[in-house]
Amino acid sequence: MKKQPNLIFFGIDSLRADHMSLYGYHRLTTPHMDKLAAGGASFEKAFSPHIPTTPGYSNMFTGMDCFGTDVVALRHEGPLADHVKTLAEILAERGYNNTCVGFGGNPASKGFENYLSFSGWGSWEEGRSHKAENLNDITIPELKRLAEQDAPFFLFMRHMDPHSPYLPPLPFERMFYGGNELDENNRSLDPVYDFAPFANYFRSWFPPGCTDKDYIIAQYDGALAYMDACIANIFATIKTLGLEDDTLIVINSDHGETLYDHDCYFDHHSIYDPTLHVPLIFHQPGKVPAGTRVSDYCQVKDVTPTILDLMGIDTGIKFDGRSLVPLMRGAQLPPGLLRRLWRGLRLAPSMRGAQLPPEEEFYITEATWMRKHGWRTPEWKLIHALEPDFHFKPEVELYNLIDDPEEYNNLAEKRPDVVAELEAKMQAHIAKRESETGRTNPMYTNLNWNGHGKPFESSQEAYDTLYIGSPITAKDLQAKELKTQRGQDEL
């Protein structure tokens, strides 16, 4: 009996798609991932609609949206709900050996047999951060161990290089920057230092005296290039071990990153597109058509159904997401014809959820440092704040994504008709999903999203209350102690 395929999953935290050379970025940041994608399928319009990390990975690893998981906030209280299964749990039930690297504290990380950790943060005082090398040091020996076993395996890695602090080692620090980051005449970082909630955090990892925003952006890009070079070592190990043909490789991100965008400096709060738009790549010779570029919209909730479909595993679970395999295999068809064929396809039992058509319009949420939700279409983006935010932004924002793709011209007051139309669509979707799940929208019930026990009544209150003081504080916000997660798994 042939062994089930292995699964190697790169979950790259805070990777915005538009800074990858794969998606047309002007800097060569990801050549090795680009080459892998050329041998498989890449999705150009993949979105993580529920920000940040905690809901993003929950959607990714359950195939459910935020109504299906009840998870919307970074500071999610309690384990993942009992009514959903994670990908690791599904594969464990089928005899897979599962190892998780750098992901032990997230609610969606339950179901792994082994949890390994590495140093994935840093500060200026600690020096340049070798995050990806630290990951490789523990992952490559584990990959070799898993390859020796008779059972198939699932190896998940949470890379942290694009996540602040951006401190790539030499030569990647200067790879995309030839200027003077200490130029006293450059005042572009003044507003960053003036933003009190994050200012001390930034000073903990910016070079002392740094004045140039472009230097910090170049550090993000350098961190991508450094990580990509280290990931090439894992690709080489896969080849050396003879795993290429029998292993499905997936690359995805929980969310993107804001750099100097919308005042949300060097972080991943907000529901503007730099935070929502993520990479998505599938690669397996003979299973995933090589050289496939898919332009249809998809979401991270589609990842688990797609993986299970490619593996030929039928769970009987009714996912909120859908398999993307028909898109991979029909990507060369005209989009209109493909959509007409979608509903008429005779699908294998393992493709539950594949009957769902692409979602070009979808609900978006954030509960990181602001509590907002909205509705995105190919043309419009509506953002509606559920409480005042610490950036003092208006309650309602409306952007035309065709005329204003960077989302800087708020049309809410000029186009109340479009605001009303999108608000009605959003509320109809919320009512539909509440009815289908029998649960209230978690954006309405998670009122301790900010960790202070109650919603904010003013932007000034939010500004004066929310604070990141150091990388240690930021790390603590990202995940609970690993032993806590292990305790939940044992219950």
Range of the domain at 34: 6-356
Same domain as 371, residue 339: no
Same domain as 367, residue 270: no
Q: Is 397 part of a structural domain of the chain?
A: yes
Helices 31-38 and 213-240 cross at an angle (nearest 10°) of 50
Length of the chain: 491
Q: Is 491 part of a structural domain of the chain?
A: no
Q: What is the pLDDT of residue 348?
A: 42
67: domain CATH number is 3.40.720.10
Statement: residue 333 has pLDDT above 60: no
Q: What is the pLDDT of residue 79?
A: 73
Half-sphere exposure of 200 (CA within 13 A, CB side): 11
Mean per-residue pLDDT over the chain, rounded: 90
Q: How confident is residue 475, by pLDDT bands cut at 50, 70 and 90?
A: low
**In 114-235, beta strands by DSSP E:** 114-116, 153-159
Count Cβ atoms below 10 Å from residue 245 Cβ, excluding itself: 10
Same domain as 298, residue 225: yes
The amino acid that residue 269 corresponds to is H
Q: What is the pLDDT of residue 355?
A: 53
301 vs 305: CA distance, rounded Å: 8
Q: Is 476 part of a structural domain of the chain?
A: no
Burial of residue 372, with CB atoms counted within 10 A of its CB: 0-12 exposed, 13-18 middle, 19 or more buried = buried
Q: Is 323 part of a structural domain of the chain?
A: yes
| For range 50-60, the mean pLDDT | 95
Q: Is 328 part of a structural domain of the chain?
A: yes
The amino acid that residue 42 corresponds to is S
Same domain as 256, residue 290: yes
Q: What is the pLDDT of residue 346?
A: 44
Give me the percent of the chain exceeding a pLDDT of 90. Answer: 80
Count Cβ atoms below 10 Å from residue 491 Cβ, excluding itself: 6
440-447: long-range pairs with CB below 8 Å, 24+? 441/67, 442/66, 442/67, 442/70, 442/71, 442/72, 443/66, 443/72, 443/365, 443/367, 443/371, 443/373, 443/386, 444/386, 446/72, 446/73, 446/76, 446/77, 446/367
Same domain as 48, residue 138: yes
- Which residues fall within 8 angstroms of residue 360, CB to CB, at 6 or more apart? 297, 377, 378
199 vs 266: CA distance, rounded Å: 11
> Both tokens of residue 363?
């609900």
Domain count, the chain: 2
Domain end point (choices 305, 330, 356): 356
- Which residues fall within 8 angstroms of residue 330, CB to CB, at 6 or more apart? 338, 341
Same domain as 372, residue 325: no
Domain end point (choices 356, 386, 409): 356
Q: What is the pLDDT of residue 121?
A: 78
What digits encode the pLDDT tens for the residues 423-474?
999 999 999 999 999 999 999 999 999 888 899 999 999 999 998 876 666 6
Q: Which residues pair with 372 in a beta bridge?
A: 366, 385
> Both tokens of residue 255?
């969310």
Same domain as 418, residue 296: no
Count Cβ atoms below 10 Å from residue 406 Cβ, excluding itself: 12
Same domain as 300, residue 375: no
Statement: residue 192 has pLDDT above 90: yes
The amino acid that residue 221 corresponds to is D
Q: Is 144 part of a structural domain of the chain?
A: yes
Same domain as 335, residue 369: no
How do beta strands 6-12 and 153-159 pair?
A: parallel
Q: What is the pLDDT of residue 104?
A: 78
Same domain as 390, residue 415: yes
Same domain as 332, residue 217: yes
Q: What is the pLDDT of residue 468?
A: 82
- Which residues fall within 8 angstroms of residue 383, CB to CB, at 6 or more apart? 271, 364, 372, 373, 374, 396, 397, 398, 399
Any idea which of 28-32, 213-217, 478-482 has the lowest mean pLDDT? 478-482
Domain end point (choices 356, 374, 397): 356
What digits encode the pLDDT tens for the residues 393-419?
999 999 999 999 999 999 999 999 999
Q: Is 133 part of a structural domain of the chain?
A: yes
What digits encode the pLDDT tens for the residues 210-248?
999 999 999 999 999 999 999 999 999 999 999 999 999
421: domain CATH number is 3.30.1120.10
Same domain as 155, residue 86: yes
Q: What is the pLDDT of residue 131?
A: 95
Q: Is 473 part of a structural domain of the chain?
A: no
Q: What is the pLDDT of residue 470?
A: 63
What digits encode the pLDDT tens for the residues 430-443?
999 999 999 999 99
